[in-house]
Amino acid sequence: MRLPRRVPWTSIAELDQVCSWIFADETDLESKTKAINRLSAWRAITALPHALESTLALLAALVQDASDPQPSSFLGLRHNYAAAMIRLVNGLVDPLQLGAYARSIASIANQLGLPPWLVELRHAATHEDLPSIELLRQAARESMIWLLHNYFLPTINPSSAIPLQSPTLRPLAPLLKQYKFLRKIITRDASLRSQYLQELKSASRDIERWIAEAMVTANVAIGELGWGTAAKGDQSTKERWALEQFCDALLQKGALVPLSKKKRAFPDDAFLPPKFSVDLWSPLLAELHSLHPDFPSILSARIVAHLLTEPPQLDVVPISVDTTHDACLARWAMWTVENLNADHLDLDIRKETIAALLTGLGPASGSSRDRAAATALLQALCAGNPEMDIAVSVLLRPQSQPAFQEWSADDITIMNERLAAILAVPEDDTVDMPPALPHPAEVPETTLAPGWRMLDASNSIWKPCPIGVYVG
């Protein structure tokens, strides 16, 4: 449940009135002045959302420009316009710098649907020559139109607002492939480590930036563009969604699971992935764990979900079923539990994974998927715990199916005899009354508990009868 957010207006009608003052008539300076006064009064009460702060700055510059069409110097006006544009773009982008590594302002603005040339104008106004007054006027008008369609209309009437198009995520496979290529070079020849170290760090940063892009995509998908401060729970939900997309890419062949079946040679002494794969991917997984504490839990949960989910129905039945892919993923789940479960405050990945496997492998699951990999993972996780071993053995015990027996003539004869015996019993509508209780005088006092006495039939309307039967 999302927490309530404090707003400066008492009702949505007030915001609608301010919107009409601003956008109803572009030449009505009196209405725009009313809007400036109202926004300034709101700002004195509480902090304004960034959209209204930017609207106030842009509106003040536009009114100043329209009030004096031929000023003696345009320098002050250009500074006002430029400051408003800088605040607009920076205020939109800065809250969405969600990753461990900074991303370019242009890439985040592109995900938000902000016109690219406004970002370039912001860069010019900050680091280069101040843009001309004509260009700044055009930028201010387009920014106001963008705020109208992306803030005012969705806030005033959410049902009629055009839903934002969620930007498509760029493919993750090339980034993982580049990282894997560099790790292979360093793993096979340690002398090349210093030569490729910077490229490897760059590949790791690109992967973390991809996760940040996915978090922004989740932000846009639910209609939030950083207008308000997001709650911690909402932020963790977006981060979890981004990490789930990343983990799903890791589960594909060519990432955690090698493409060649010959490279899926598992150790004989431990339930772990191939050593060469661990050497390739363990640094990246450890780095992601340090940046995202919930990453190990999400990775193990996605692996278990993959092992228990029904495979898609294919039109062409494969000649041979590849079971080593699931076996390799199960061993990666075990590696995650054993190597990435330390130093977490309130999370036990082993317990979570065992609970998910017990639920999915239970008799009521009704799955037709080959569950050998999931079963092996459950046994490996429970190994060494006698109580869990007994529970797993009971869970995985084959269910005995009652043998189906065909009906024979003798069975029909027996059923007919039983039916005839039931029909031969005479019907009796009378209710068998229990024997009357003895008179209180006939009951010895020692048989009654202290404080109790037997009712006298002469002065009581109570009569014994079977439960559920009333005798009038």
Six-digit token pair at 219?
Answer: 């932000």
Six-digit token pair at 372?
Answer: 């050998």
Query: Are 108 and 93 spatial neighbours (Cβ–Cβ below 8 Å)?
Result: yes
Q: Percent helix, strand and coil across the chain, each rounded to 5? A: 60, 0, 35
Residue with tokens 């990775």: 299
This prediction has a pTM of 0.62
Contacts of 287 (CB under 8 A, 6+ apart): 204
Contacts of 386 (CB under 8 A, 6+ apart): none
The CA-to-CA distance between both ends of the chain, in Å, stands at: 59
Helix runs in 222-294, H state only: 232-250, 275-291
Q: Tell me the pLDDT tens digit for each residue of 1-24.
A: 455 677 888 888 888 989 999 888
- The half-sphere exposure of 106 on its side-chain side, counting CA atoms within 13 A, is 5
Q: Tell me the pLDDT tens digit for each residue of 243-283.
A: 888 999 998 888 888 888 888 888 888 888 888 888 999 99
Q: Tell me, what's the pLDDT at 346?
A: 44
CA-to-CA separations, 405 to 74, 96, 409, 418, in angstroms, rounded: 99, 68, 13, 20
**Smallest Cα–Cα separation from 235: which of 213, 256, 255, 219?**
219
3-state secondary structure of 253: strand
Q: Tell me, what's the pLDDT at 56?
A: 92
Six-digit token pair at 231?
Answer: 């709650």
Q: Tell me, what's the pLDDT at 321?
A: 60
Write out residues in the chain with pLDDT < 50, as ranges: 1, 226-233, 344-346, 431, 437, 440, 443, 445
**253 - beta bridge partners?**
257
Q: Tell me, what's the pLDDT at 268?
A: 81
